[in-house]
Amino acid sequence: MDTAFAPEELAFRDEVREFFNKEYDQALQDKLASSEPLVYKQAVIDWQKKLHAKGWIVPNWPEEHGGTGWDATRQFIYETERAASGVRDVVPFGLKMVGPVIYTFGSDEQKERFLPSILASDEWWCQGYSEPGSGSDLASLKTKAVRDGDDYIVTGAKIWTTYAQFADWIFCLVRTSTEGKKQEGISFLLIDMKSPGVKVNPIVSIDNHHSLNEVEFNEVRVPVANRIGEENKGWTYAKALLAHERTAIAEVADSKRNLKQVRDFAQREINGGHALLADPMFQKRLSDIEIDLMALEFTELRVLASVAAGGAPGAESSLLKIKGTEIQQAIQELRMEVAGYYQGVLPTELSADQLGHGFGVKARQAFMYGRAATIYGGSNEVQKNIIAKAVLGL
């Protein structure tokens, strides 16, 4: 694999950098850091609308549906520069998850109705997969949809539903039949969150933030026209979505930035003492993560190249998810060590702006929320089973 960039690719890299430097300004960043939910939501929408106006909102979508037409190299450059610049990624549920399902498996009417609003960030989506008591076993879902004329009547609950409190729509896996294997009899529905019978219950996570929710459905009427593809074939569409989700969860570009930040802070010498980076054991841990991250990056590039050539992420997405989330957690642990090392001398050497809020607080929040990284998107144990079946034939 040739990793040297051509002149036109370097020019594209410079264009991406210039755009981020200009458009991802301090005023926007302050709003994105706001503890006021509506201020935060509007800031996310404003940023995504800037990307949409630039034509960069969905780098991996086909051109005929609003994508950029970038090859794998340009997608890699874009993601690397986004992370290096500290630019937040888009909210994935509409743009990276249900959007590709709709343009791949949806009807022409569904594409016309939903894709433009997803691209323009005019409607906020959330994901209804996990259920109370089911863990990562999606096929065990109990939320049922009973056909009643031109509607389904949906009853049940979904949990760990990120940003459901903001959402206009939710895409859900529901049980429409109990016959055959449990993976059969599942359908994929698009449900308006304003429908009578939908209730959102907040869940405050260990990092003291409200991003997760439980969503209850009490005899909610959903038009049959909102079903993606065939009845009882939702498992097929769900697997396609999960492959894209798990590839994104790897977050290689973001891990590179976070690891560089750890190295930068760890090499500071405080009050004439030794930097944490001088500790041989810390050096080894940092180097081990750097090696693993480099290997993961090349694996991601191979997957991107395959997708760009017309393929689809398969078992490789599970591999990326496993290693990517393990690396994220290892980096978060190092960030906590570095934050603790420097916060003890913060008053005399470093401003609160520089470390206390900008590094230490974020390190703690990332560490606490990051404990779930190996669970959400399908636990890593489940991913190992997928690899065993798909690659090893077990």
What residue ranges do the domains of the chain occupy?
7-100, 125-232, 250-390
- Position 185 pLDDT exceeds 70: yes
Residue that wins the pLDDT comparison between 390 and 104? 104
Better-predicted residue by pLDDT, 131 or 183? 131
Q: Coil, strand, or helix at residue 228?
A: strand
Q: What is the Cα–Cα distance from 81 to 110, expressed in whole angstroms?
A: 34
pTM over 0.95: no
**Residue 8 among the catalytic residues:** no
- For residue 300, pLDDT over 90 is answered with no
Alpha helices, H only, 26-130: 26-32, 37-54, 72-84, 92, 99-105, 108-119
**Is the predicted pLDDT of residue 167 greater than 60, yes or no?**
yes
Over 60: is that where the pLDDT of 286 sits? yes
| Cα separation, 298 vs 301, whole angstroms | 5
Predicted local distance difference test score (pLDDT) of residue 312? 62
| CATH code for the part of the protein at 7-100 | 1.10.540.10
| Fold category of 250-390 in CATH | Butyryl-CoA Dehydrogenase, subunit A; domain 3 (1.20.140)
Q: Above 50 in pLDDT, residue 119?
A: yes
pLDDT, residue 347, reads: 40
- Phi–psi pair at 25, nearest 5 degrees: -80, 175
Residues contacting residue 235 through CB under 8 Å, at least 6 positions apart: 139, 173, 183, 184, 186
Mean pLDDT, residues 295-324? 75
Same fold, 125-232 and 250-390: no
Topology, domain 125-232: Butyryl-CoA Dehydrogenase, subunit A; domain 2 (2.40.110)
| The pLDDT of residue 348 | 43
State the average pLDDT over residues 357-362: 62
For residue 381, the model assigns a pLDDT of: 78
Task: Look at residue 3 in the predicted model and tell me its pLDDT.
Answer: 56
Please say if the pLDDT value at position 186 is more than 90: yes
Give the pLDDT of residue 394: 62
Catalytic residue among 81, 131, 245, 297: 245
Span 49-64, mean pLDDT? 94
Q: Are 67 and 104 in contact (CB under 8 A)?
A: no
Region label for 197, one of left (φ > 0), alpha (ψ between -120 and 50) or beta (otherwise) = left
What pLDDT score does 188 carry? Answer: 97
Q: How confident is the model at residue 43 (pLDDT cuts 50, 70, 90)?
A: very high
Grade residue 243 by pLDDT with cuts at 50, 70 and 90. Answer: low
What is the band of 352 on the pLDDT scale with cuts at 50, 70, 90? very low
- The region that residue 294 occupies, defined by phi over 0 for left and psi between -120 and 50 for alpha, beta otherwise, is alpha
| % of the chain residues with pLDDT over 90 | 49
